[in-house]
């Protein structure tokens, strides 16, 4: 097999900016098919991936899956589970963009189907390969902070005027709102770094007129280890807080700004363009390591989104593990569901 033939269902921001360029950059993969009902996006797909098969609907794709080796689901959140189920039922491995599903029940059904059929199933949690998160993980693993006591993480933006898309005007049942959008990343990072959670507290607010779901959220987690995590998600932050603030018994780590890979992908740059500095940040943007007043800049590990599809290729061709275990996504969804209950009743929810 010269390459894995990949179909991308959905060619909006997720499909065209995050998935397609990373798939194209993986030597053992090719963007073979795209599903989009937009003529403009269809033309874009043909321009960016010569020879690609473009179809207008998932029905048309699943009506003829000959030659396909992997399906990537990059559609609105409420359709993730139904489309992933169709791909598995068609005998094809699947990558699902986050959130994996809208409910825990949907997610468990997908994992059970994948296990019964022996098909690979994974979730696109690309933020595990953010350079700043890789740096935090390196410091924690090496014990450079001592015992971690508090982990703070933020995705904040200043967007006082709503754009009006489904993420803002949709319902919780649609998987709309920042808790499902950005919270899927933040919770996954916290679990990856610090392990299981025993208690959840959440505050959800709608700050802008016309918004139907949360655009400002705070989530507090108590891990089984005793570490406390605080997560902020906001579209209405006129001044942005630190991306990471990690406090340990011996030292802390503080960083600002976002990993540069998203901006690079949005600008049309690709990791296979021969750019040797993919995912790196300039020294003036390094985070600070240590204890005041002696904290010093600490080099940020280069971000590596291409690692996801490299690992997915290895799973399909070499029998390696998938890059993200879908059971991790079920755990994340349990926490997000507990967070909604916490916000609704203004109470701490204990996980069994």
Domain locations in the chain as residue ranges: 4-124, 127-307+334-350
Tokens of 285: 């943007």
Average pLDDT, whole number, for the chain? 95
Which residue is it, tokens 């994974």? Answer: 122
Q: What angle do CA 25, 181, 151 make, to 5 degrees?
A: 95
pLDDT value at residue 324: 98
212 confidence band (pLDDT: 50, 70, 90): confident
pLDDT value at residue 210: 84
pLDDT value at residue 163: 83
pLDDT surpassing 70 at residue 1: no
Residues 6+ apart with CB under 8 A from 16: 41, 44, 45, 48
339 confidence band (pLDDT: 50, 70, 90): very high
Q: Is 346 exposed, middle or buried (0-12, 13-18, 19+ CB in 10 A)?
A: exposed
Phi and psi for 131 in degrees, rounded to 5?
Answer: -65, -40
pLDDT value at residue 166: 73
pLDDT value at residue 141: 97
pLDDT value at residue 242: 98
- CATH number of 4-124: 3.30.43.10, 3.40.50.720, 2.40.390.10, 3.50.50.60? 3.40.50.720
| Whole-prediction pTM | 0.95
Helix/strand/coil (H/E/C) assignment for every residue in 188-246: HHHHHHHCCEEEEEEEEECCCCCCCCCCEEEEEEEECCCCEEEEEEECECCCCCCCEEE
Same fold flag, 4-124 and 127-307+334-350 = no
Could you report the per-residue pLDDT of 6-20, keeping only the tens digit for each? 999 999 999 999 999
Distance CA 215, CA 179 (A): 8
Is pLDDT larger for residue 278 or for residue 169? 278
- Percent of the chain at pLDDT exceeding 90: 91
pLDDT value at residue 118: 96
The distance between the two most distant Cα atoms of the chain, rounded to a whole number of Å, is: 64
Describe the crossing of helices 178-194 and 131-141 by its angle, rounded to 10 degrees: 30
Q: Find out whether 49 and 22 touch, Cβ atoms under 8 Å.
A: no
Q: Is 283 exposed, middle or buried (0-12, 13-18, 19+ CB in 10 A)?
A: exposed
Distance CA 258, CA 270 (A): 18
Tokens of 306: 């291409």
Could you report the per-residue pLDDT of 271-327, keeping only the tens digit for each? 988 767 899 999 999 999 999 999 999 999 999 999 999 999 999 999 999 999 999
Tokens of 191: 């679990």
pLDDT surpassing 80 at residue 173: no
Q: Tell me the H-state helices in the chain.
A: 13, 20-25, 39-48, 58-63, 80-89, 104-117, 131-141, 166-169, 178-194, 261-266, 306-318, 326-345
- Bridge-based pairing of strands 228-234 and 216-223 is antiparallel
**170 secondary structure, DSSP code:** S
pLDDT value at residue 205: 96
pLDDT value at residue 113: 96
Could you report the per-residue pLDDT of 89-143, keeping only the tens digit for each? 999 999 999 999 999 999 999 999 999 999 999 999 999 999 999 999 999 999 9
pLDDT value at residue 174: 73
Q: Does domain 127-307+334-350 have CATH number 3.30.360.10?
A: yes
Distance CA 100, CA 84 (A): 9
DSSP result, 244-255: EEEEESS-EEEE
């Amino acid at each position: 097999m010269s390459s894995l033939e990949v179909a991308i269902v959905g060619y909006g921001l997720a499909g065209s900016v995050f998935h397609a360029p990373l798939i194209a950059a993986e030597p053992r993969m090719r963007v073979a098919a795209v599903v989009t009902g937009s003529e403009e996006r269809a033309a874009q797909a043909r321009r960016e991936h010569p020879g690609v098969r473009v179809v207008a609907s998932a029905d048309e794709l699943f009506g003829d899956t000959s030659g396909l080796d992997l399906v990537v689901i990059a559609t609105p959140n409420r359709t993730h589970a139904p489309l992933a189920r169709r791909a598995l039922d068609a005998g094809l491995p699947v990558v699902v963009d986050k959130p994996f599903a809208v409910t825990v029940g949907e997610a468990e059904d997908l994992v059970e189907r994948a296990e019964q059929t022996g098909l690979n199933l994974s979730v696109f949690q690309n933020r595990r390969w953010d350079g700043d998160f890789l740096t935090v993980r390196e410091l924690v693993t090496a014990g450079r902070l001592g015992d971690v006591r508090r982990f703070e993480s933020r995705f904040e933006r200043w967007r006082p005027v709503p754009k009006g898309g489904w993420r803002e005007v949709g319902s919780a049942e649609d998987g709309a709102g920042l808790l499902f959008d950005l919270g899927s990343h933040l919770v996954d990072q916290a679990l990856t770094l610090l392990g299981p959670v025993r208690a959840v507290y959440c505050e959800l607010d709608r700050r802008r007129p016309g918004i139907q779901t949360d655009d400002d959220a705070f989530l507090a987690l108590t891990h089984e280890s005793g570490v406390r995590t605080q997560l902020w998600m906001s579209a209405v932050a006129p001044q942005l807080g630190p991306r990471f603030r990690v406090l340990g018994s011996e030292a802390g780590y503080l960083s600002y700004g976002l990993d540069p890979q998203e901006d690079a992908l949005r600008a049309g740059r690709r990791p296979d363009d021969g750019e040797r500095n993919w995912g790196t940040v300039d020294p003036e943007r390094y985070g600070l390591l240590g204890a005041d007043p002696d904290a010093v800049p600490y080099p940020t590990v280069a971000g590596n989104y291409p690692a996801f599809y490299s690992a997915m290729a290895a799973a399909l061709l070499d029998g390696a593990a998938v890059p993200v275990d879908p059971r991790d996504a079920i755990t994340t969804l349990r926490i997000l569901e507990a967070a909604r209950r916490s916000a609704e009743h203004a109470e701490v929810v204990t996980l069994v």
